[in-house]
Structure 1
Amino acid sequence: MSKIILITGASRGFGKIWAKALLERGDKVAATARNINDLNDLVETYGDAVLPLQLDVTNKDAAFATIAKVKQHFGRIDVLINNAGFGLFGAIEETTEEQARAQMETNFFGLLWVTQAVVPVMREQKSGHIIQVSSFLGLVTLPVLGLYNASKYAVNGLSETLAAEVKGFGINVSLIEPNGFSTDWSGASAFQTEALEVYAPVKQAFAAGATPDTWGKPEATAPAVLALIDSENPPLHFLLGKVAYPGVKKVYAERLAEFEEWATVSADAHGH
């Protein structure tokens, strides 16, 4: 039986790749983009199997209206893929208030509004799968991506909590946590702070740490995402790419060792 899947940020990158993979196998997709013309190729190829919708996820009312349109059109929503987001590159000191708020408005609040809108639909159905596109940078951090890291940590905290709250309604929650992939995320879709020369060495070290092999091929993620959607018991945390797992494992081992080193002092702070 084909599934009804809503994908935000489907104009390019992961969103477009996954939409095509789902449509190719016979699912029906409601695809959103800020510019609806970016979805024309999907409509031309897949016709009525696609419902193209214009959506700026930072507009809460529009997010709720979009969910209502999808429900009315298809009758249900089996899977939500919250994919809309962008990268902000630059040191924290360089980041303007406008840039910081824009990063959180899209990556965190936009995801929150769409999530809040879809939960009642899935709760009524007594089934559903909410897939949040986070990052392995919601588990560990890299320099010069401070606000992006923060937005994804916020997404992870929200979604882990959500998973516990909605499990009893038959709703699953998964966090897709990719390492770097060769999408527009680090190119045309990315934003840059105005550089302060004092951070040049940090940025150079960051750039030097990335080799061509560091970046995954976006098209290679499609089978993994289809497997996630088809799983009867999907994971809460789902790493994508061969860099993410060893990177997270190393940081978590160091973190546990530090907790252990300070464990006595920490326990004494309890007071009794």
Structure 2
Amino acid sequence: MTTAAARSTARPDASGRVWFVTGASRGLGRVFAEAALDRGDRVVGVARDVTPLDDLVAAHDGRLVAFPLDVADRAAVMAGVERAVAAFGRLDVVVNNAGGFLYGMLEEATEEQVRAHLDVNLLGALWVFQAVVPHLREQGSGHILQVTSMGSTGGFATVGLYGAGKAALDSISEAMAMEVADFGVKVTIVQPGGYETGLFTQGTTATAENEAYAPLRARMAEMWSEGVDAAPEKAAPAVMEVVDMAEPPRRLILGGLAYDQAVQLLRARLDEHARWEALSRTAD
């Protein structure tokens, strides 16, 4: 089906969907929850701290249910998804959005920091997937949005562990999509560029700096400072359009600059493969 046809063919359940959004208290999670509510949908929003959602809960007359949930706790996720299903009787759109940011060189990261980071950014998304799939399979429908990052297309100094977690989530999301396709469940990997989400302030853990990396750290900090983060509200219309598609994309980059950067990285990788093709073929 062409893109135009996919856009024009809304799902039968295009109104009154039930959303389950992790990391819903700020940034993209909150924006997606607000956009869903504005459409008349119902939302279960979870985060470690859901007090920032109090205003939305009060304003939407029972259509938003919010409760605390740490996605790194698998047992809590299983119980939380059961609570979410009980709230509105079903789940239609699952937004796997919760995440944090670990900033620093790989050598600097402690074992505790690495495990805590991947427990949220990678395993947390897996636990949510494991918890929601039985419900989506039983109802024969559903759409899982796996929020990763355009940065998952390549590794960069100072953000290597963040990129690694997102790249791993990209990979297992491809497997997820294959595993649930026969049950009528869709998976879209959503890869945002830079947005003003608070990820780099409230959501950041930093390593203890090793002076040996000071010159590289300064160069990377200068490179990161050149970017201009967009308002997260800019991302909502594209995501709302995707959930209305009968045949949504497997991957969606959010943002024009992010799209250009991701394509540039992919082309550079293809060029490198081509440069060494003859050597690769000697290994048959």
Equivalence for 1:180: 194
2:87 pairs with 1:73: yes
CA contact (8 A) 1:8 1:15 kept: yes
Find the aligned partners of 1:137 and 1:211 in 2 and give their Cα distance: 16
Report Cα offsets for 1:118-158 as digits up to 9, x if no partner: 11111111110010110011122322001101100110010
Taking structure 2 as the reference length, what is the TM-score of the superposition?
0.91
Secondary structure, in 3 states, of the residue corresponding to 1:243?
A: helix
Gaps of 5+ in 1: none
Q: Choose which of 195, 206, 215 in structure 2 pairs with 1:192.
A: 206
Secondary structure, in 3 states, of the residue corresponding to 1:173?
A: strand
Find the aligned partners of 1:204 and 1:247 in 2 and give their Cα distance: 21
Equivalence for 1:3: 17
Secondary structure, in 3 states, of the residue corresponding to 1:247?
A: helix
Equivalence for 2:115: 101
CA RMSD of aligned residues (A): 1.3
- 1:127-206 mapped onto 2 (5 Å cutoff): 127-206=141-220
2:36 pairs with 1:22: yes
Equivalence for 2:133: 119
Find the aligned partners of 2:129 and 2:63 in 1 and give their Cα distance: 23
Secondary structure, in 3 states, of the residue corresponding to 1:185?
A: coil
Equivalence for 2:262: 248
Find the aligned partners of 2:87 and 2:262 in 1 and give their Cα distance: 41
Equivalence for 1:13: 27
Shift of residue 213, structure 1, vs aligned partner: 5.2
Secondary structure, in 3 states, of the residue corresponding to 1:191?
A: strand
User: Across the two proteins, how many residue pairs are aligned to each other?
Assistant: 270
Report Cα offsets for 1:213-247 as digits up to 9, x if no partner: 53222111111111111122111111011221111
Equivalence for 1:236: 250
CA contact (8 A) 1:214 1:243 kept: no
Report Cα offsets for 1:71-122 as digits up to 9, x if no partner: 1221110010011001111111111111100110000001000001111111
CA contact (8 A) 2:147 2:190 kept: yes
CA contact (8 A) 2:151 2:262 kept: no
CA contact (8 A) 1:126 1:170 kept: yes
Report Cα offsets for 1:159-211 as digits up to 9, x if no partner: 01111111111111011101111220111221111111222222221222245
- 1:25-36 mapped onto 2 (5 Å cutoff): 25-36=39-50
Gaps of 5+ in 2: 1-14
Find the aligned partners of 1:181 and 1:64 in 2 and give their Cα distance: 30
Which stretches of structure 1, 4 residues or longer, exceed 4 Å deviation after superposition? none
Q: Kindly, what percent of the aligned residue pairs are identical?
A: 39
Taking structure 1 as the reference length, what is the TM-score of the superposition?
0.95
Q: More displaced, 209-218 or 224-233? A: 209-218
Equivalence for 2:7: none
Q: More displaced, 63-72 or 33-42? A: 33-42
2:233 pairs with 1:209: no
Shift of residue 212, structure 1, vs aligned partner: 6.0
Q: Which amino acid aligns with 1:188?
A: Q
